[in-house]
Amino acid sequence: MSDKGLREVIAAQTRISDIDGAAGRLWYVGYEIEDLARNASFEEVIYLLHNLELPTRAELEELNR
C-alpha cells in the first residue's frame, strides 16, 4: 500500500491562481508571481485579484485616491 499523502488531490478549483509545485512556479490570473513581484505595485496586484485583469493608468489612479 502506497501513502501518497495529498498528491493529486484537488482541494479547490479557482480561476485566480495556478501552481506547479514540482517546478516551484505560481501564477495569478495568468501572470507569473515573480514577474508581478518585480514589476507590479501592491495596488496593481490587488486590482488584478479583484478584477482578473491589470488596471489601466486611469483605474490605478482612481484606486490610489
Q: 8 pairs with which residues across the strands?
A: none
pLDDT digits (tens, 9 = 90+) for 2-28: 677 777 787 778 889 999 989 999 999
pLDDT of residue 12: 79
Q: Quick check: is 59 in a domain?
A: yes
Distance CA 14, CA 42 (A): 21
- Tell me which residue range forms the domain holding 51: 17-63
Query: C-alpha angle with apex 65: 50 to 34, nearest 5 degrees?
Result: 45
| DSSP reduced 3-state for 24 | coil
* Total structural domains within the chain: 1
Q: What is the mean pLDDT of residues 30-55?
A: 96
The whole-model pTM stands at: 0.75
Q: Quick check: is 10 in a domain?
A: no
